[in-house]
Chain A
Amino acid sequence: MSLTGLFLITFLLVHLIGNLQLLAGDEGQAFNIYSDFMANNPLIQGISKGLYLFILLHAIQGLMMAWKNKKAKTSKYAGGRGSGSWASKNMALLGTLVLAFMFIHMGDFWYKIKFDSNSINAVSYAGLDHEIKDVYSKVMETFKNPIFVVAYLIGLIALAFHLGHGFQSAFQTLGLRHKKYTPAINFVGLAFAILIPLGFAILPLYMFFN
């Protein structure tokens, strides 16, 4: 749980840095070249297979755990909602929202880019000897639709809360707790949980309003 979670966290960071090239202001040249590289580099392709496996592993283990934990508790108490943050008690719900979001997201882009080449135009840039897919225009087009923008924002808010608990929780699970370092981990975790989803949220909002 903690190891797969931390792997997914690293993925999020890399994914966001890559996607921020959408904002480069060069009509998508940098982003399209980057997409082409990611789609054809054997090492990246290998890692992405591992990523799919880890997402499934994390989701299955999380849901199984949540189900067993529900059985370990007989009922709620009358009067009073109990201690502990809301996010920490709703990790399975938040995770499921994130998973649902990921399916929509993969259907929008990954599936269309990989298997539905009619929906994507090709572009050529000076210095490249072959045409590449114009993923940038596809992203632009998708985020002109307000329904997608709203769905993305819901998914990202769920992600923010999931990370808000999950980041520091992973360290505690691994036994990495320390008087000096734990406050720093909590701080970084909070910053990560706010900044990463915010970074992702800028993309659909920017595309929608431009």
Chain B
Amino acid sequence: MKLTLKIWRQKNQSSKGAFESYQVEADEHMSFLEMLDVLNEQLISEKKSPVAFEHDCREGICGTCNLVIDGRPHGPSQGTTTCQLHMRSFKDGDTIHIEPFRARSFPIIKDLVVDRTAFDRIIQSGGYVSVNTGQAQDGNAIPIEGNTAAKAFDSATCIGCGACVAACPNGSAMLFTSAKVQHLGLLPQGKVEHKSRVQKMVAQMDKEGFGFCSNVGACEAECPKEISIDNIAAMNRGFVGSMFSTEE
């Protein structure tokens, strides 16, 4: 299949970027990233600079393959990362726009690569358990109700990719932050520090310059792990609760 790619090229953070047009011959069995590999081989053999894009696991678990494809973070298919997207989702002769995540708190490093260390700092501010939980536990040593375990697991599937921020018209990081807060706060080891964790992580999120949530719901629609905005409501509830709490 023959494709026209309009790819965002930008030298570094301070330079101005623009879309550039490329032709590429792809196979429908290729993944989207393999198609870009083909393009880069082509550019290298023409002695041009290859397109910088991030990738690592190529199996949907690391959260680095962050591209916006035709206006949608991780492209057109539901509940998948860019690396899991295949060229059979496109047709011969298609024109595809590929650009980086756009948010003030995710500055562009080069081409399609953005700096997502703001997420790391949100995790550092409270996304941990500091009480001693001892050795690895026996399977059922700590009783956890099945429904709660399932909810915590669903929240824990967030891979920290940042598509929620990229999709949000406010550049808000509420879906990511709430997924992390709920993942830890629902389980007995994490519950202990839940109130202070909510406060600290929300404060760090605001400090990083992410926008305020106005419940548009674009995050949930674009999240490759289909994290629900139930998490956001639950974190809001926790935040309100922690404001009236006398605990430190």
User: Which A residues are closer than 8 A to B by beta carbons?
Assistant: 65, 68-69, 71-85, 88-89, 91, 165, 168-169, 172-177
Contact = CB atoms under 8 A, between A and B. Distances in A.
A80 B236 contact: no
Contact of A175 (B105, B168, B172, B234): B234
A77 B70 CA distance: 8
- The 8 A-B pairs with the shortest beta carbon distances in the complex, nearest first, are A80-B71, A175-B237, A72-B211, A177-B233, A72-B171, A175-B236, A69-B170, A83-B221
Interface residues of B, number: 41
Contacts of A74: 102-104, 171
Given A69-B211, A84-B216, A77 B102 contact: yes
B233 A176 contact: yes
B197 interface: no
Contacts of A89: 169, 216
Given A65-B214, A83-B221, A84-B169, 17 more contacts: A68-B211, A71-B209, A72-B104, A73-B103, A73-B211, A78-B19, A78-B71, A79-B70, A80-B70, A80-B72, A82-B72, A83-B216, A88-B217, A172-B215, A176-B237, A177-B229, A177-B233
Interface of B: 6, 19, 68, 70-72, 97, 99, 102-105, 167-172, 209-218, 221-222, 229-230, 232-240
Given A84-B216, A173-B215, A72 B236 contact: no
Given A68-B211, A83-B167, A172 B229 contact: yes
A75 B215 contact: no
Contacts of A65: 212, 214
A75 B102 contact: yes
A165 B172 CA distance: 18
Contacts of A173: 213, 215, 236
